[in-house]
C-alpha cells in the first residue's frame, strides 16, 4: 500500500465510522475551552470535566478569573495534575487576555502561544476546535497512532515533525477532524500497551499490524 492509499483508507474509514468527532472536554465558549485544555495537560479529560463546573461557577468569565489569585484557584483544581503551576498559568493567562487582547481569547497560534500555560499543542487545539482552522495538535495519542499506522515516517521523532507530516498529507478541510480521530482511536482502540488490533478496522492499512500481528 502506498502512503497515499494508506491516508485514503484511514480517512475513508474514520469518515464513515466517526463522521462528527468532537473533543471530550466539556465547554460552552472559547474561554472555557482554553481553561479546560490548559488543565488537561498530563491529566485525563474525565478528571478535568469533574473539576471545571466548580471553577466556572466561581470564575464564569475571563474577567473574574483575571482578578483571582493562584492561591484562590489552587484548592478548586487541586485534584488535577500540577495544580500549583496550572493555578499560576490560569490566572496569568486571564490577566494577559484582559490586558492585551481586550478580554477576547485570541484565535491565532502565534498570539495564543504568548499566553502563560499555552504551548503549540494547546493553541492548535483551540484554533482547530473553535474555528476549524487546519492546525493539527499532536498529543501522545496522535503521535503514537500516526506512527504505528505508518501515516508518518519512523524518523519523525518530535511532535512538530509528526504535525508537519500529517498536515502535508491531509486535506486542510479535514485536519480538525483528523486530530480527534487519532486521539479517540488512541484512547479507545490503539492504546499504548494493549492495542485492540483484532477488532480494529484499520488492520488493512496499518504498518504495525502487518509487522506484529499474526492472524491464525
Contacts to ligand SF4 by CB under 6 A? 148-149, 189-190, 195-197, 200, 202-203, 206, 208-209
Q: Which is nearer to ligand SF4, 34 or 178 (CB)?
A: 178
Least distance in Å: CB of 202 to ligand SF4?
4
Least distance in Å: CB of 204 to ligand SF4?
9
Was 43 annotated as part of a binding site? no
Using an 8 Å Cβ cutoff, are 97 and 104 in contact?
yes
Q: Which is nearer to ligand SF4, 181 or 208 (CB)?
A: 208
Q: Which of 121, 155, 171, 211 is catalytic?
A: 121
Using an 8 Å Cβ cutoff, are 128 and 159 in contact?
no
Q: Which is nearer to ligand SF4, 15 or 79 (CB)?
A: 15
Q: Extract the C-alpha cell encoding 5.
A: 492509499
CB atoms within 10 A of CB 4: 9
Q: Which of 139, 147, 171, 196 is catalytic?
A: 139
Cα 36 from Cα 51, distance rounded (Å): 9
Was 200 annotated as part of a binding site? yes
Cα 44 from Cα 189, distance rounded (Å): 16
Which among 14, 116, 140 is positioned nearest to 65, based on CA atoms? 116
Residue 28 is among the residues annotated as catalytic for this protein: no
Q: Extract the C-alpha cell encoding 114.
A: 504568548
Residue 121 is among the residues annotated as catalytic for this protein: yes
Annotated binding site: 190, 197, 200, 206
- Annotated active-site positions, please? 121, 139
Amino acid at each position: 500500500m502506498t502512503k497515499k492509499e494508506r491516508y485514503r483508507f484511514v480517512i475513508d474509514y474514520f469518515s464513515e465510522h466517526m463522521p462528527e468527532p468532537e473533543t471530550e472536554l466539556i465547554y460552552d465558549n472559547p474561554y472555557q475551552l482554553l481553561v479546560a485544555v490548559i488543565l488537561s495537560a498530563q491529566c485525563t479529560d474525565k478528571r478535568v470535566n469533574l473539576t471545571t463546573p466548580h471553577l466556572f461557577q466561581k470564575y464564569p468569565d475571563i474577567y473574574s478569573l483575571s482578578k483571582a489569585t493562584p492561591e484562590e484557584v489552587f484548592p478548586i483544581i487541586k485534584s488535577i495534575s500540577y495544580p500549583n503551576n496550572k493555578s499560576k498559568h490560569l490566572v496569568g493567562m486571564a490577566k494577559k487576555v484582559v490586558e492585551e487582547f481586550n478580554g477576547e481569547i485570541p484565535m491565532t497560534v502565534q498570539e495564543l502561544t504568548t499566553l502563560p500555560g499555552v504551548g503549540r499543542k494547546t493553541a492548535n487545539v483551540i484554533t482547530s476546535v473553535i474555528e476549524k482552522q487546519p492546525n493539527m495538535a499532536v498529543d501522545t495519542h496522535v503521535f503514537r497512532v500516526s506512527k504505528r499506522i505508518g501515516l508518518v515516517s519512523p524518523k519523525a521523532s518530535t511532535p512538530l515533525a509528526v504535525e508537519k507530516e500529517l498536515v502535508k498529507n491531509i486535506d486542510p478541510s479535514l485536519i480538525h477532524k483528523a486530530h480527534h480521530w487519532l486521539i479517540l482511536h488512541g484512547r479507545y482502540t490503539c492504546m499504548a500497551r494493549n492495542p485492540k488490533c483484532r477488532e480494529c478496522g484499520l488492520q488493512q492499512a496499518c504498518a504495525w499490524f502487518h509487522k506484529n500481528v499474526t492472524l491464525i
